[in-house]
Chain A
Amino acid sequence: MFGIFKLALKLLTNDKGKFSALLMGVTFAVFLMIMMMSMFSGILSRASSSIDNVGAQIWVLDPAVNNVSSSIPMPDYVLDFAKSIKGVKHAEPIYFGGALVKLRDGTYQGVTVIGLDDATLYGRPNLIGGRIEDIFAENGFIVVKDAEFDKLENPVIGSEFEINDHRGKIVGIAKVSQSGLFGVPTLYTTYKRAITYIPSSRFTMSFVLIESKSPEDVPYIQDQIQHLGYQALTRDQFTNKIANFYKFHTGLGINVLIMTIISFIVGLSISGQTFYTFILENLEKFGALKAIGAKGRELVAMILVQTTFTCLIGYGLGVGLATSVMILARLRMPDYAAQVTYSNLSLAFVLVVIIAAFSSYVGVRKVLQIQPFDIFRG
């Protein structure tokens, strides 16, 4: 069968014009699909970056909260209650809020301020400069060195700035695994300083972070928190909740889905039509092969090899092209939110397999219909 496969590939690849058109169709479709899905993945990943960066096991929140940046402050008794639940190792408050930093040239830059529990600093970031205990120093802030860092004019330890008309001083530089979605720099400080510097409502606690004694305690803790009228979500559950919010309640998901479907249809149309033309042009030759003694299943195998080969090459090129574009984009725009995930690659692969199956179907149908007698009859 290897010889027949080689014959099929030679028939395909030696027709450089058609082969290029086929490849272009599949590559372009894969490129568009991967780009769309990767941008969406990037957005979802950025949207829940704080969850990863803080790293808490369980997050307690108001059930109406859909993402970290729009928290609904909770009363202090939620924290007291959480601490009292059997199976809770420790529970700490965390504050998420927005503030304005006045830059040296007089312009303002929005920042996210995260206030860590003064006693434990639970959820603190990894530092690449400075000491964590300096966060307790007067006006101490830790700045995150991510894609947004330069928006604060690349501060160093000791840099002073004005935040909501208060003095601030950089005492540490931190590294996080992922930047946020909204393109603003992040500053860490103590909980008390955060609620002092940033205007707050009656309640100040954005979330309660819980660490359980053992994983088996998590369902019980969640149940207890639910009885209080709040929600306790594990890291994955909170991430999924945010993802679902962006997917189903913002229009973003449906737009990306439509674009992905359009890309798929474009690829399907180009590949299907080009392959159909390729088969039509070679139909008499396939008839001649049948007359010579090729069996139907061998011709089907030849077509399957041709479409599979084209789609796999096109898939590889599409993924490569999309990845290259993302790398280039990130060189110019460090906060470019797009990431290629295994799920994206798998979904694109499934869609490419459908393109290959459709192209094969149109080809096989035509080739099986041709009768060798038609070749004699001319």
Chain B
Amino acid sequence: MEKIALRAVGLNKWFGDGEAKTFAVKDVSFEARAGEMLYIVGPSGSGKTTLLSMISGILEPNSGEVLIGGDDLWRLTSNDLADFRLNKIGFVFQDFHLFPRLTTAENVAIPLILKRMNWGEAIEIAKKYLDIVGLANKAGLPPVKLSGGEQQRVAIARAIVSQPDLLVLDEPTASLDGDTGRKIVEFIKENVLNENRCIIIVTHDNRIFEYADAIMKMEDGKLLGIERVKHEK
């Protein structure tokens, strides 16, 4: 039986009140499994990013539950929620959001530093993760000296450096050309995904659909369905 990494139950998010009330996400329930790469796909405005924000603990739903390891994320205090994100969730943002004035190693070390790890130790661990993403020789460079694909890999290293159970990626290929985008997702699948980790990717880039284990389709804030893919070994 597969381990459930995340369970969303009856998630609703609306903006505005009265006649102006608009549902961004409407009554969405689903399960994401450990060891699975789940895509949330759909047209712009379908509620993908809003859903991703709710399940990763950065946007509070109006109703519904997000259960990770049996805990409802949104019953935690704001400080506990911040700790939860720091320890359990890794983020890769669409625009990477790397600090241009820090070196790549320092960028990767940020979650460890936020976890109060000693600076030197954090940098050493960050270098190991840069090695994992194939950028060991770029540890001392600022992100602006790297290509888009390399910057994406630095962002991935930062996201996994604290060994999260859940990795969320928002449009990871949007800033990359097709070939680089495919390579990045292939890299994530082969090197980042493991049996205890669930990766959720928001995308509308159908060139990378072939790497998905499950594809969740959304439209107008509603979940149309989840299709689980069986890959040939």
Contact = CB atoms under 8 A, between A and B. Distances in A.
Interface of A: 1-4, 6-7, 10-11, 14-15, 282, 284-285, 287-296, 298, 371-373, 375-378
Interface string B82-95: 11111101010111
B228 interface: no
Interface of B: 49, 52-53, 56, 58-59, 78-79, 82-87, 89, 91, 93-95, 97, 99, 101-102, 106, 110-111, 113-114, 116-119, 122, 158, 170
Contact of A295 (B49, B79, B102, B113): B79
Nearest to A13: B101
Nearest to B111: A292
B191 to A, nearest CB: 21
Contacts of B99: 11, 282, 285
Contacts of B86: 292-294
Given A14-B101, A295-B79, A289 B58 contact: no
Contacts, number: 89
20 contacts: A2-B119, A3-B119, A6-B119, A11-B101, A285-B99, A288-B91, A288-B93, A290-B58, A291-B56, A292-B114, A292-B158, A293-B82, A293-B85, A294-B82, A294-B86, A298-B114, A371-B59, A373-B53, A373-B59, A376-B93
A338 B118 CA distance: 48
B49 A3 contact: no
Given A10-B106, A11-B102, A293 B114 contact: yes
Chain A residues touching B, majority SS: helix
A378 B95 CA distance: 8
Contact of A4 (B56, B89, B106, B113): B113
Chain B residues touching A, majority SS: helix
Contact of B58 (A3, A4, A372): A372
Contacts of A11: 99, 101-102
Contact of B114 (A10, A14, A294): A294
A378 to B, nearest CB: 6
Nearest to B202: A376
B94 A378 contact: yes
B142 to A, nearest CB: 8
Nearest to A10: B102
B93 A7 contact: no
B60 to A, nearest CB: 9
